[in-house]
Structure 1
Amino acid sequence: MTTVDTADLHSLHDLLSSGRPERSGLLTDPPVAEYLSHLTTLQLPSLESEPTTLASSAAQLTNALTTLCYTSYPTFLSLHSTTSTLSSSLTSLSSSLDSLLSTLPSLESSAKNFAQETRKIQQDRRKASLVLEHHDKLYDSLSLPLLLDSCVRNHNYNEALLLANHASTLAKRFPNNPLVQSVRDECDSRMQAMLGQLLGVLHEQAKLPALFRAITFLRKMEVLDEDELALAFLAGRSIYLATALKATETEKKGTDEGSDKAKESYSRYLKRYIDVWREGVYDVITQFTTIFIERAPSTSSEPPSRLSALLTTFATHHLDLLLSALQDTLPQIPDPTLLTSLLTQLTYCANSFARVNMDFRALISPIFVDAVRQALSRELDVALETWMNYFGTHDEHQKQKDVTRKPSQFLITQSSAHSPPVPTPSQLESQLSAAANVPPQILVSYPPLAHLTNDLLTALNGLRLLAPVELQDDILLLLDDVIARAGAVLLDYTKEKAWISNRQVAEEEDREVSIAGASCTTYFKVFVPFMRRALTEGVYGTSSKEMDASERLSKVLADWESLSI
């Protein structure tokens, strides 16, 4: 037995653990250590009775344990079953975890593949969600072309411009977005339709407010500069005016040329043409002046002189159209009354245009002078032709040998045939102081001469309504020419004596020659001076003595004076 040095023992713990190292671990447990400390505090009697106390406590514990096992055996059985089940479950769980751990790599790979496969779907869903979130804004943007089209159709141009500007702003903000660009393109096409409508207003019947409104919106569209806009305005109004002038041509349709109805229809046409031209051109001039010169925008870079030059070109062109219409139509209106009415209308028209610095009275005067000259020339030619028909010829140079009618049959009235009247010196003297528009009574005795007098006086009476001063010399030459040609026909008839036959007696022949001679005398001494006075004094109020006869008339007068009948 091993001897223990008590001097080296410091406590019961050391005593119990000495020689038995395996007990060191048990003795270090807190309950054991606490109990050992308790033993060291006991008295000897208590210490001696401690084994009995421990045995009694052990017996009590054994009895209590036995009782517990008896009374709680179902619990222990259940606990045992549960423990077995738990052990089995833990074993199964361990195997399942091992299987799970083995499948985790494939699961991770599948999850990655799924994430890649669903990435596009997620993007589409995010886009759809974004579209749904901004649905109202997108709807407003996509509705711009439809709204713009509705505004253009209803002529709400101000709202249309606002919508177009909004579409342009969106296109600038999103230059790479095809949807926004397509919306802008559709809006641009609607704006082209609006441009066509506004330009169409310039081609229609419209007053200043409507035209000014159209030009204002065209300026806001900024598709034409001021010069091009002015040209578009003048071109549109020119087309409308040309259409209106074309419509006036219905006034001269459906009539025969040369008839009285034709003259009246040409006159109505020209009056209507002048009215339409006056209203149309005057309106365009005042409208252009108001829109482009007086109320030009402050941002306009076009000088007023250039715009005024455009207006001058327009006015000059349409004035040329008016003058051309006058030159073409006035010759178809020989009636002086109608010409006078047209001249009065044009004079008032020119006076109104003088207020806009476009007085064209000096341009219409030569046209009317030519018209009067042509009309009078035609009437004089008709009178001469009627005179020649009495002698059976259409040309004063034609020989009249085939004219067999005797002078007594057509040159003089039956009541005066036996004593052909000739003017006396006193009658010739009184004729010089008589009224220039009252024909001498002696002319009644010679029907062809009276007929010629009436025809020429009718022409001169018409001339009195519209007698251009600058035409006096020309008209006198025309009248002298007609008188000379008519006198030449009468002289040739008298000289040829084609009516004389071999069976006529001398007395009858002398009577016919006397009638022819009296006709010549009356023609050259009475008719010729009277007609020249009717023109110079009756129409122009000048003396015929101051007007020398034409060379042709002087020659015919000389031939008559040399004729011995």
Structure 2
Amino acid sequence: MDVEDESILVSVFKDSFPDSWRDNPDFSAYLSELSACGLDKLGREPERLAEERNQILQQTRELAFSNYQTFIRTADCTEHIYRDFGRVEGSVSRLLDKLPRFGERCRLVSVRVEADQLTFMTEAEEIAVSRRMNSLTLNRHTEILEILEIPQLMDTCVRNGYYEEALELAAYVRRLERKHAALPVIQDIVRDVRQAAQLMLNQLLQQLRSNAQLPVCLRVIGYLRRMDVFTEAELRVKFLQARGGWLSSVLDAVPDDDPYVHITKTVEACRVHLFDIITQYRAIFSDDDPLAGPPGAQGEAAIFHGWVAQRVAEFLVTLQRDLRRGVGPRLDSLLGQCMYFGLSFSRVGADFRGQLAPLFQQVALEAFQAALQEAVDRFQEDMNRYTLVALPVALGGALAPAAPGIQPGTLQPPTALLDFPPLACFLNHILSAFNDLRLCCPLGAAQDVSHSLENVLRAVTRVIVAFHRAEQSAFSSREEDLFVQFCSSFADDLLPFLSRCLQVLFPPAELALVLGVPASQLHRYGGLGRIDVSAVLRPLDFILPQKEPEPEPLLPEAGIPAEQGSLTQPEPSEPGRTDTAAEPEPRQGSGGLA
């Protein structure tokens, strides 16, 4: 561009473009081209430039889209190259920094070469020794590999149940530890083997917590003894704990909805499994000769006896809990099963039948007392509704003197009580209580039963006296006679009959035999198997007609059925059996008096 053109452009465009463009040949050529264009072309030039600009942008986009991977790789390569150049530059800088020191050290090395020649031979010998050691290691590679694989092999044996091989490996590792305990690799092997041995111990104890039979228990205890992790006493405790835990899981699985079903299944499970555990223990741990055993053997035997006592105590607690929940009229069947359970344990020296009697006696006594209280309550309700006027016409026949309604030695309810419904219903309730009691009626309950019955009869007497006080002012002469007959029937018929029933439940001959005294001396023991009739009737003395006192008759020896022994001292029988043949009913028919 000449000076003239430049001056023209400067005058036209002035400051429209930077000064740096003036030196650009393309810019100068373009200005020359614009100077040669006409006005129309110059008017269209912005549109053409904009269109060309758009085309160039579009081409640029297409180029970037079609070659974007190239651009990305180019950028990555650029970045890597820049980073590599940086590292190269840093390395060169460090090299330049180290070269002077390197040269200095080389000079020092050259100075010390002669001194190092003396140590070279020593180092060479050490290298030779190391080479020989490496050669020896290579020659023993198989043996070394076997030692290093011991932990893995031990774990495999334990997980697959090869306990015999696992014990041999553990013994071999213990020998290695004694010889080479200072070597780190041996220490690692010992640690891993001990972990596998702990897993083996847990597996063996878990087998004892399952339904293991005697051969399995013998094998497991043999392995535990060879592992030598427990003393003899600890081994016994572990065995009993594991077997006891399995027995507890079996007992926990028994349904607890029905008390009778729960306790019967518990008795059966305890009788079978507990006996098996005791048999297994005695087969594995011998306590037959304590004199020949080492010191502390008696303490080891006490472990077993203490465990058996604990299991029996837990069973008795369960029995007592289910008995209190109520087992219905099946108390005799349950007693037979429990006695059979205790009898079977007598063969292993753990007879606990003596502890069963108080439990059943208490439950039977509580049920009897509850039945007596219910009978008193019903009698109170009947007396509240009772009226002497409502007696049937046939009652007149009962007012005449009649022969006793029972025969000596029999247990037939007196029919005279049918004329007095409250007394008849009361007797029926008492007889029902007697029939329930006779299913489980030990001689030890004689005094409590007698006192309970006497207290109930005194309560009945008080109810009769209260009835008389409430109705006396409204009595007619006939009603007064009927009430006297009512009281006489209570005194002459009901009380003697209940006294005879009590003597059937607790025969005087058997009571005297247990106490070791003659039957004629039983009266010295208070109300043992008898009722104090005079004390019961004392509140009615002002109503009852006076008569000559007679001694209370005892039931003749010949009149007691031979089967009565089963009522007072039930013999243990097999579970599920009840002695129904020896069940005399102390009431007429199945419902007593109607």
- Whether these two folds match at TM > 0.5 is yes
RMSD (CA atoms):
3.6
Contact 2:454 2:536 in 1 (8 A): no
Indicate whether 1:535 and 2:502 are aligned: yes
Identity of aligned residues (%): 27
**Corresponding residue to 2:270 among 277, 289, 295:** 277
Q: Do structure 1's residue 427 and structure 2's residue 427 form an aligned pair?
A: no
Tell me the equivalent position of 1:361: 353
Separation (CA, whole Å) in 2 of partners of 1:290 and 1:463? 43
Pair 1:518 & 2:485 matched: yes
Cα distance per residue 1:427-484 (max 9 Å; x no partner): 33x5352621x21222223222221111111111222333212322332222122122
* Counterpart check, 1:461 vs 2:427: no
Measured after TM superposition, the shift of residue 169 of structure 1 is 2.0
* Inter-partner Cα distance in structure 1 for 2:243 and 2:165: 27
Correspondence 1:237 to 2:243: yes
Q: CA deviation at 1:157?
A: 0.8
Following superposition, the deviation at residue 128 of structure 1 comes to 5.4
Q: What is the CA–CA distance in structure 2 between the aligned matches of 1:139 and 1:489, rounded to whole Å?
A: 99
Give the residue type in structure 2 aligned to 1:222.
Answer: D
- Tell me the residue number matched to 2:174: 168
Q: How does 1:392-407 map to 2 (within 5 A)?
A: 392=384, 405=385, 407=387
Q: Is the 8 A contact 1:444 1:450 kept in 2?
A: yes
1:133 and 1:169 map into 2 onto residues whose CA distance is 23
Deviation of 1:152 (Å): 0.7
Q: Whose radius of gyration is greater, 1 or 2? A: 1
1:555 aligns with 2:535: yes
Distance change in 2, residues 1:421/1:151 (3 Å):
farther
- The aligned residue for residue 285 of structure 2 is 292
Measured against aligned partners, the alpha-carbon deviations of 1:189-244 in whole angstroms (never above 9, x if no partner) come to: 11111112222223222111111111101111111121211121122222222232
Task: Classify 1:301/1:540 alpha carbon distance in 2 versus 1 (closer, same or farther; 3 Å).
Answer: closer
What is the aligned counterpart of 2:309 among 316, 333, 356? 316
Equivalent position SS for 1:216: helix
Using a 3 Å threshold, how does the CA distance of structure 1 residues 542 and 527 change in structure 2: closer, same or farther? same
Identify unmatched segments of 5+ residues in structure 1.
1-103, 254-264, 393-404, 501-507
Which residue identity does 2:506 align to in structure 1? Y
Give 3-state SS (helix, strand or coil) of 1:435's partner.
Answer: coil
1:349 aligns with 2:338: no
Shift of the alpha carbon at 1:426?
4.0
The AA in structure 2 aligned to 1:495 is R
Give 3-state SS (helix, strand or coil) of 1:204's partner: coil
Sort the Cα spacing of 1:509 and 1:441 in 2 relative to 1 into closer, same or farther, 3 A: same
Structure 1 segment 470-549 matched on structure 2, within 5 A: 470-497=444-471, 500=474, 509-537=476-504, 539-542=505-508
Q: Which residue of 2 aligns with 1:246?
A: 252
Q: Distance in 2 between matches of 1:331 and 1:462?
A: 16
The 3-state SS of whatever aligns with 1:433 is coil
Q: Give me the whole-angstrom Cα distance separating, in 1, the residues matched to 2:124 and 2:293.
A: 61
Return closer, same or farther for 1:115/1:423 CA change in 2, 3 Å cut-off: farther
Higher relative contact order (CA 8 A, sep 6+): 2
Over residues 125-164 of structure 1, what are the superposed CA-to-partner deviations in whole Å (9 max), with x where a residue is unaligned?
7665544332211221111111101111111111001111
Distance 2:277 2:536 in 1: 58
Shift of 1:357: 1.9
Match of 2:151 in 1: 145
Structure 2: give runs of 5+ residues left out of the alignment.
1-109, 510-518, 546-594
The answer to whether the 8 Å contact 1:488/1:556 transfers is no
Distance in 1 (alpha carbons) for counterparts of 2:484 and 2:415: 18
TM-score, reference length from structure 1: 0.66
SS at match of 1:316: helix
Cα distance between partner residues in 2 of 1:525 and 1:107: 140
SS in 2 for 1:563: coil
1:326 — aligned with what? 319
Instruction: Please tell me whether residue 307 in structure 1 is matched to residue 300 in structure 2.
Output: yes
CA apart distance, 1:511: 4.2
1:405-424 matched pairs, under 5 angstroms: 405=385, 407-408=387-388, 413=391, 415-416=392-393, 419=395, 422=398
Query: Equivalents in 1 of 2:119, 2:301: separation in Å?
Result: 79
Instruction: For 2:112 and 2:346, locate their aligned partners in 1 and report how far apart those are by CA, in whole Å.
Output: 102
Query: Cα 1:492–1:193, aligned 2, differ >3 Å: closer, same or farther?
Result: same
Map of 1:207 onto structure 2:
213
Which SS does the other structure have where 2:186 is aligned?
helix
Q: Using the alignment, how far apart are the partners of 1:499 and 1:199 within structure 2?
A: 84
CA distance in 1, matches of 2:482, 2:495: 18
SS for the counterpart of 2:209 is coil
Report the equivalent of 2:222: 216
Change (3 A) 1:164 1:556: closer
C-alpha spacing 1:426/1:486, structure 2 compared with 1 (3 Å): same
Equivalent residues of 2:383, 2:422 under 8 A apart = no
Could you tell me which amino acid in structure 2 is paired with residue 427 of structure 1?
A
Cα distance change, pair 288–519 in 1 and its aligned pair in 2 (3 A):
same
Instruction: Rate the CA distance shift 1:293–1:107 in 2: closer, same or farther, 3 A.
Output: closer
Q: Which residue of 1 aligns with 2:76?
A: none
- Superposed CA offset, 1:262-291 (max 9, x none): xxx222211122222222332222212111
| 2:352 pairs with 1:385 | no
Rounded to whole Å, the distance in 1 between the matches of 2:409 and 2:399 is: 15
Matches of 2:532 and 2:288, distance apart in 1: 65
Conserved in 2, the CA contact under 8 Å of 1:423 and 1:526? no
| Whole-Å separation in 1 of the counterparts to 2:124 and 2:369 | 104
Distance 1:107 1:267, change over 3 A: closer
TM-score normalised according to structure 2 size: 0.63
Seen in structure 2, the aligned counterparts of structure 1 residues 236 and 300 have a Cα distance that, compared at 3 Å, is farther
Change (3 A) 1:183 1:406: closer
